[in-house]
A and B are shown apart, each in its own frame.
Chain A
Amino acid sequence: MSRYVDVIVNGFNEKVPENATISFLITHFKEGDADLIVEHNGQFVYPQKYAAATVSAGDRIEFINPNFGG
């Protein structure tokens, strides 16, 4: 039985499993853009780190869709 922790995702309080990975959160919050930008506690997260990067209580995660229009 996994514990849940409080994190802030795009400004909203959310309960997520402790040590959830960024990959898990992307699926969980249905972020579909292949070029999604992920910011974790103010730092950009490289896509290759999504599977290993885990979140802790109080962390701030921002999912930002890239802008490619001109």
Chain B
Amino acid sequence: MKNMTKLSSEEYIRYNRQIILPEVGEEGQEKLRNAKVFIAGVGGLGSVSAYYMAAAGVGAVKIADRDRVNPDNLNRQILHHSQDIGKPKTASALEKLRQLNPHCHVQAVQEEIREENIMEFVGDCQLILDATDNAETRRLLNRASVSKHIPFIYGGINGLNGMVTTFIPGETACFECLFPHKAVEKTSVAVLGPVAGLTASVQSMEALKFILGMGGLLKNRLLYIQCSDMTFKEINIRKNPDCNICNTAKKGEI
């Protein structure tokens, strides 16, 4: 049931700097309040996107992660503080997000995302924000996105580089159009904090634009951010006619 009530005076004040944007306005703020977003992972990318979703007044945010906070997470996972070491990441995230914005309903699930639970995790969320740390989980998110017909905002980081694109079922390529192979898992990638911040900020912007019904999304454009020389390059992508996941003829086999 959507919350159709007008914004309260407290909400007007809190979100004033975005409500005065013509692209947002009162109507847009109500759309954000009625929105439900699934954030897969609250590590480097998820820390930033969860903060921005809550801060913007997204009404409901569902977060999932299997890990506990480690000391070597803290250079980039800015939702987690020194005193959180050893805590489940979702509990740490929940605490901070509630402090940031008590109006945002946060649902935290401390569990690994697997084939058996992915559909339930995504539930009735209207978009998937990717903040996972491996290709395998991204494949599951992609399948949920295609099957539920909701956008999947991919973001990935490695070293000084980041990548973002917005996959929209029926309109754009999907994750497996680009990456049909099973990647060899890499553990403990090197990364400098702002690379995660930059990448997740682009993803967050994409999420808010989608909720607000704005154009200009990264559709069929893979943004490749190289912080070593601060270049932002776009790679044109297209649906892969041989894709096993989003090819219309093969749908239903997921």
Q: Which residues of A contact B (CB under 8 A)?
A: 33-35, 37, 39, 42-44, 46-48, 62, 64-70
Contact = CB atoms under 8 A, between A and B. Distances in A.
A70 B131 contact: yes
A13 to B, nearest CB: 19
Contacts of B30: none
Contacts of B157: 67, 69-70
Given A37-B235, A39-B235, A44-B238, A67 B163 contact: yes
Contacts of B130: 70
Interface stretch (B12-20, B52-60, B91-99, B182-190): B182-190
A63 B41 CA distance: 28
A24 to B, nearest CB: 19
Given A46-B240, A65-B158, A70 B183 contact: no
Given A44-B235, A69-B156, 10 more contacts: A34-B182, A35-B135, A35-B183, A37-B178, A44-B237, A66-B183, A69-B44, A70-B46, A70-B156, A70-B157
B240 A42 contact: no
Given A37-B178, A47-B180, A66 B43 contact: no
A34 B163 contact: no
For chain B, the bracket of interface size reads 35 or more
Contacts, number: 78
Interface of B: 41, 43-46, 130-135, 138, 155-158, 161-163, 177-184, 186, 189, 191, 196, 222, 224, 235-238, 240-242
A69 B157 CA distance: 5
A47 B158 CA distance: 22
A66 B236 contact: no
Contact of A68 (B46, B134, B177, B235): B134
A35 B135 CA distance: 10
Q: State the 6 A-B residue pairs at the shortest beta-carbon distance, nearest first.
A: A67-B156, A69-B189, A70-B133, A67-B158, A34-B181, A44-B237
A46 B161 CA distance: 22
Nearest to B133: A70
Nearest to A33: B183
A69 B158 contact: yes
B184 A34 contact: yes
Contacts of A46: 177, 240-242
Nearest to B161: A67
Contacts of A70: 41, 43-46, 130-134, 155-157, 196
A45 B196 CA distance: 27
